[in-house]
Amino acid sequence: MAKIVVSLADGRQAEFNSPVTTGEALKSLLNGKLKNIIAVKVNGEAVDLSHTLTRTAELDPITADSAAGQKMLRHSTAHIMAQAVQELYPETRLGIGPAIENGFYYDFDRPQSFSDTEMEKIEQRMAQIIKQDLPFRKSVISKAEAIQTFSEKSEAYKLELINELDDNRLNLYQQGDFIDLCRGPHIPSTGKVPAFKLLSVAGAYWRGNENNKMLQRIYGTAHSSAARLKQYLNQLAEAKKRDHRKLGQELDLFSFSPEAGAGLVIYHPKGAILRGIIEDFEKREHLKRGYQPVIGPLLLKLDLWKKSGHYDNYRENMYFTEIEGQQYGIKPMNCLAHMLVYKSRLRSYRDLPLRYFELGTVYRHEKSGVLHGLLRVRGFTQDDAHILCTPEQLNDEIIGIIDFVQQVMDTFGFSYTLEISTRPEKSIGSDEDWERATEALPHALEHRGLPYTINQGDGAFYGPKIDVKLKDAIGRWWQCATIQCDFTLPERFDLCYIGKDGQRHTPVMLHRVILGAMERFLGVLIEHYAGAFPVWLAPVQVRVMSITNEQDDYVLSLAEKLIEHDIRVETDTSPEKIGFKIKEARLQKIPYMLIVGAKEKAAGSVAVRKRGAGDLGGMEFDEFIQQIDHEINQKIH
RNA sequence: GCCCACGUAGCUCAGUCGGUGGAGCACUUCCUUGGUAAGGAAGAGGUCACCGGUUCAAAUCCGGUCGUGGGCUCCA
């Protein structure tokens, strides 16, 4: 038999005359030290440390704190949790249990739901299993054997998975008496889990299909050390502090009222100002880029929604009403009125592209369980536009929108991810049009060298789309900007333009939003800045406060001057000590405090305190105005 | 919509075994005029989300409705 040569990337080598496990091979390469290594890549493929090498290979150790290692650690911890659950509650049947970002889950089918005390018991049993240091043993079996094994255990969900697999060689992993169907690889033994915690229990449909049974999903997390776990839990606690729902109340930006209805935002003065600032910014940016403002009605006749396809494809999300026997639909999208603007006269190819912009308020019937602060509501306002252009102009228009998105996101300091969503099952339009549109989108992104992922079957019913997603405080992604191709609606509405050839042609339409919904964007924005808005966005930019009530008149005169400079200002002339006034202004995250006592009043100056920087000392009033104006104009964040 | 949990003063939260509800902050009044993260005192504030049931008696137990939270499904 030929010699087996194993090597590491740094060139270290070892030779063996007979097959060895990867674990043994690594031991001899690393002088017996494996402490943090839980698996290994063999010629690029991740395998267990118990994997047997039969030929020469390059090894790349996977440590517990690497990305791949953490994922494996979490996946193995999911198995340990399943073992604990079945030992404690043998009537429980298994769903699936993968690693996810920052943790893992396992889905269980059990007649009773898991209570808090049961969760604690599960956690304790897991700790015991980890202490026992049971090895994860892999075995490769045939499909028939797998069916036999899981039939004996009455694991119907596992059987369903097995039956759908084409491969006749399946992997089983066993630790103690617990056996699971699993591709692997796993950590060598249960004792290699340094720190874990169960976090929550939630319902989850089997295989993500709402027609299937709802299972109980237990979420948990595992880390390569107790310190890392603690750090992660701290991070979660910190994230909660910047939750926009909490900040929205603390900063008096908005509220919801059960009396008004779920998912309907009540903007308080400061929230309304913030939104207004963003809307003003948006209007200017759109005008700069050749968009024309238009305004459509909130209700349109039902027949129009039938014509557009919304009634057939989007009815369950719409609200309807009746006026003098005539049926109306409340708009869930803004496109219809924009098409009516286009249709109001005959268009020439010389008119195109036409870019209609509207801060359009829409209402959608979202299922009650999905409502979520400002991030998912029933009434919201989109920074919506519809671009009508010739097919030849399509690419440039998409590129223009992508650049627009990039510039706006840079202004707010956001990073984001791009996704292309393709044709869904429920859709209208010809195969040919879908193909054309689906090609145009990646083309534009590639033209700008932007990375993206594909989201199969997640497009709108009328066309494919590019989605821009932003992250909230807890790490959830929310779709904000979206660019959607549409060849269908212009046809349905008989839109046309006269081409160079004197003939009628159908224009192409792009639906697009930049911020998406003002509500959602505000929510993400609040979390992004943790409520400490840059000066240009802050609802209150300056609070002027007196040291003693002797200076109240001076405070009021300063406030007047600031208002003349278009600075948003509040005054504090309460008979409190200055420390108390500062505390209150800090809690409101106001960017600048102007503190004036007898000294400043006499000199006509101000003492400036800046959020994050502290006491800046005395300053001439004009100097302060210059400084804050600069910050506002440059939109410094 | 589905699963689980929760709903007590404007806010954050106590409230034991079923026996007519408390604290801190905020608010009002008074005192205090103090130079960079909480000065002091008094007062007011509640149909314990709502509706129904069990009970001599319900914030507490049960059912329903509304709302909220964590998820699933679905979307900006």
Q: What's the mean per-residue pLDDT of chain A? A: 93
What's the pLDDT at A546? 96
pLDDT in tens, A437-448: 888 888 889 989
Q: pTM for the whole thing?
A: 0.92
Instruction: Give, in Å, how far the C1' of B69 lies from the CA of A595.
Output: 41
Instruction: Give, in Å, how far the C1' of B36 lies from the CA of A527.
Output: 28
| CA–centroid distance for A89 within its chain | 36
The answer to whether A556 and A545 are in contact (CB under 8 A) is: no
Cα A98 to Cα A73, A193, A282: the distances in Å are 11, 16, 42
In the predicted model, is pLDDT for residue A89 greater than 90? Answer: yes
What's the pLDDT at A476? 80
> Which nucleotide has its C1' atom closest to residue A583's CA?
B37
In the predicted model, is pLDDT for residue A32 greater than 80? Answer: no
> Which nucleotide has its C1' atom closest to residue A367's CA?
B1
- H/E stretch holding A600 reads helix A598-603
What's the pLDDT at A1? 60
Q: Alpha-carbon distance A637 to A632, whole Å?
A: 9
| CA–centroid distance for A345 within its chain | 42
Q: Alpha-carbon distance A201 to A108, whole Å?
A: 10
A209 CB and strand B closer than 7 A: yes
∠A78-A83-A85 over CA atoms, to 5°? Answer: 95
In the predicted model, is pLDDT for residue A100 greater than 80? Answer: yes
What's the pLDDT at A18? 87
In sequence order, the β-bridge partners of residue A322 are A327
Residue A119's nearest CA partner among A228, A7, A14, A218 is A218
What's the pLDDT at A403? 94
What's the pLDDT at A404? 96
Instruction: Give, in Å, how far the C1' of B10 lies from the CA of A256.
Output: 15
pLDDT in tens, A143-191: 999 999 999 999 999 999 999 988 889 999 999 999 999 988 999 999 9
**Smallest Cα–C1' distance to nucleotide B75: which residue has it?**
A366
3-class state of residue A623 by DSSP: helix
| CA–centroid distance for A306 within its chain | 33
Min mean pLDDT across A114-123, A155-164, A457-466, A494-503 is at A457-466
- The DSSP output letter for A212 is S
> Which nucleotide has its C1' atom closest to residue A316's CA?
B74
Pair of tokens at residue A399: 């590129």
In Å, the largest CA–CA distance within chain A is 98
- The residues of A between 218 and 257 with beta carbon within 7 Å of nucleic strand B are 219, 243, 245, 249, 256
> Which nucleotide has its C1' atom closest to residue A552's CA?
B33
Instruction: Give, in Å, how far the C1' of B60 lies from the CA of A548.
Output: 50
A139 CB and strand B closer than 7 A: no
CA dihedral A51→A54→A57→A59, nearest 10 degrees, is 20
Mean pLDDT of A546-553: 95
What's the pLDDT at A360? 96
Q: How confident is the model at residue A511 (pLDDT cuts 50, 70, 90)?
A: very high
What's the pLDDT at A473? 72
CA A399, A400, A404, A410 torsion-angle sign = positive
Residue with tokens 């089983």: A172
CA A90, A93, A99, A102 torsion-angle sign = negative
Instruction: Give, in Å, how far the C1' of B19 lies from the CA of A582.
Output: 48
Instruction: Give, in Å, how far the C1' of B4 lies from the CA of A199.
Output: 13
Percent of chain A exceeding pLDDT 70 equals 100
Instruction: Give, in Å, how far the C1' of B35 lies from the CA of A534.
Output: 27
Pair of tokens at residue A245: 């729902």
> Which nucleotide has its C1' atom closest to residue A574's CA?
B33
A520 CB and strand B closer than 7 A: yes
Instruction: Give, in Å, how far the C1' of B50 lies from the CA of A368.
Output: 19
A260 CB and strand B closer than 7 A: no
What's the pLDDT at A247? 95
**Smallest Cα–C1' distance to nucleotide B4: which residue has it?**
A202
> Which nucleotide has its C1' atom closest to residue A216's CA?
B3
Pair of tokens at residue A378: 């029933």
Q: Which amino acid is at A425?
A: E
Residue with tokens 């209007």: A283
Percent of chain A exceeding pLDDT 90 equals 76
A588/A237: higher pLDDT: A588
> Which nucleotide has its C1' atom closest to residue A370's CA?
B74
pLDDT in tens, A244-301: 999 999 999 999 998 899 999 999 999 999 999 999 999 999 999 999 999 999 999 9
Min mean pLDDT across A334-338, A431-435, A464-468, A583-587 is at A431-435
Mean pLDDT of A518-522: 95
Return all residues near A497 (Cβ < 8 A) that are at least 6 apart. Answer: A347, A348, A349, A351, A352, A390, A504, A505, A507
Q: Is the ipTM of this complex over 0.90?
A: yes
A19 CB and strand B closer than 7 A: no
Mean pLDDT of A436-465: 86
A517 CB and strand B closer than 7 A: yes
Return all residues near A188 (Cβ < 8 A) that are at least 6 apart. Answer: A23, A38, A48, A49, A50, A135, A136
A106 CB and strand B closer than 7 A: no
**Smallest Cα–C1' distance to nucleotide B1: which residue has it?**
A367
> Which nucleotide has its C1' atom closest to residue A379's CA?
B76
Measured in degrees and rounded to the nearest 5, phi and psi for residue A559 equal: -60, -40
What's the pLDDT at A166? 85
Mean pLDDT of A512-525: 95
Mean pLDDT of A500-528: 95
Q: Is A1 exposed, middle or buried (0-12, 13-18, 19+ CB in 10 A)?
A: exposed
A212 CB and strand B closer than 7 A: no
Mean pLDDT of A457-475: 84
What's the pLDDT at A345? 95
Mean pLDDT of A598-612: 96
What domains are there in chain A, each with its CATH number?
A: 4-63 (3.10.20.30), 68-242 (3.30.980.10), 269-296+332-529 (3.30.930.10), 542-634 (3.40.50.800)
A378 CB and strand B closer than 7 A: yes
Q: Please compute Rg for chain A using Cα positions.
A: 31
What's the pLDDT at A4? 85
| CA–centroid distance for A528 within its chain | 12
In the predicted model, is pLDDT for residue A475 greater than 80? Answer: no
A475 CB and strand B closer than 7 A: no
A550 CB and strand B closer than 7 A: yes
Helices (H) and strands (E) in chain A, counts: 19, 36
- H/E stretch holding A160 reads helix A156-164
A285 CB and strand B closer than 7 A: no
A482 CB and strand B closer than 7 A: yes
A474 CB and strand B closer than 7 A: yes
Catalytic residue numbers of A? 335, 364, 382, 384, 386, 465, 511
A130/A460: higher pLDDT: A130
What's the pLDDT at A27? 87
| CA–centroid distance for A314 within its chain | 24
**Complete DSSP assignment for A220-257:** EEEESSHHHHHHHHHHHHHHHHT-HHHHHHHTT-EE--
> Which nucleotide has its C1' atom closest to residue A459's CA?
B75
In sequence order, the β-bridge partners of residue A595 are A545, A607
What's the pLDDT at A366? 94
Mean pLDDT of A334-348: 96
What's the pLDDT at A7? 86
What's the pLDDT at A378? 96
What's the pLDDT at A259? 87
pLDDT in tens, A43-52: 888 999 999 8
3-class state of residue A97 by DSSP: coil
H-only helix segments in A219-378: 226-241, 244-250, 269-288, 302-308, 310-314, 335-343
Using H for helix, E for strand and C for coil, what is the string for A440-473?
HHHHHHHHCCCCCEEECCCCECCECEEEEEEECC
Strand B bases near protein CB (under 7 Å) are 1-5, 7, 11-12, 31-39, 66-76
Pair of tokens at residue A422: 């393709």
Instruction: Give, in Å, how far the C1' of B20 lies from the CA of A258.
Output: 29
Provide the 10 A C-beta neighbour count for residue A418.
20
| CA–centroid distance for A129 within its chain | 35
Residue with tokens 């409520």: A531
Using H for helix, E for strand and C for coil, what is the string for A420-444?
EECCCCCCCCCHHHHHHHHHHHHHH
- H/E stretch holding A173 reads strand A169-175
Instruction: Give, in Å, how far the C1' of B10 lies from the CA of A266.
Output: 17
